[in-house]
Structure 1
């Protein structure tokens, strides 16, 4: 995707603890960055947060995550992390996440979530209000 395809960005500064001996962000931290940005994206939608969902017996379960590395981030870089929903199925949602420094595209990722009954651990239909809010 192109940077302008994202309506939502969350900024995050790389901390010293997140870089490896090469002086670049250790690869596993990018999933944490995705999660932080996704949480802020979700907060911005105004839809029920994870605690409210859990109190109602429903949750978003991570089903799949992928990362593609184009260029590294380094200590003290300020990253802009874009999040966008690209598909909603019956119980699943697919999000694209991309990380930029300015206009330089560093990282791409996909996150797949399933909206599920917490006790049964089975997918349930994504509420219509969620669809309207996320895709609107």
Structure 2
């Protein structure tokens, strides 16, 4: 398996099945062009995309910069083979190289696969929190 940092839209669209929905052309280009945005794809020996992870560096005046794990997806046939853990570990290495003081992710409390993956990659659980969301399209 090899992991590549993606800087062009074509590989993202070729790996569309790894995302929650088909990648949008404009959003993909904007994400990839933004400094501090990272998208990694894991490929199998035959060149097929097995998994992806995206992360965003976030900076706050009194905290510095941390990496937010935005999304992680692995093809069903590649699950439980270490792909997700390898992707999380590689994103953490990028965060360290870029001077991030930490990395964080939120997931559903009943998402056992995600929780196991993040823990295997070295994450520790902090206090639970409540996620509040603004739907800026439906609420307009």
Give TM class, smaller chain. Answer: under 0.3
| Larger fraction in helix | 2
Scaled by the length of structure 1, the TM-score of the pair is 0.28
Scaled by the length of structure 2, the TM-score of the pair is 0.27
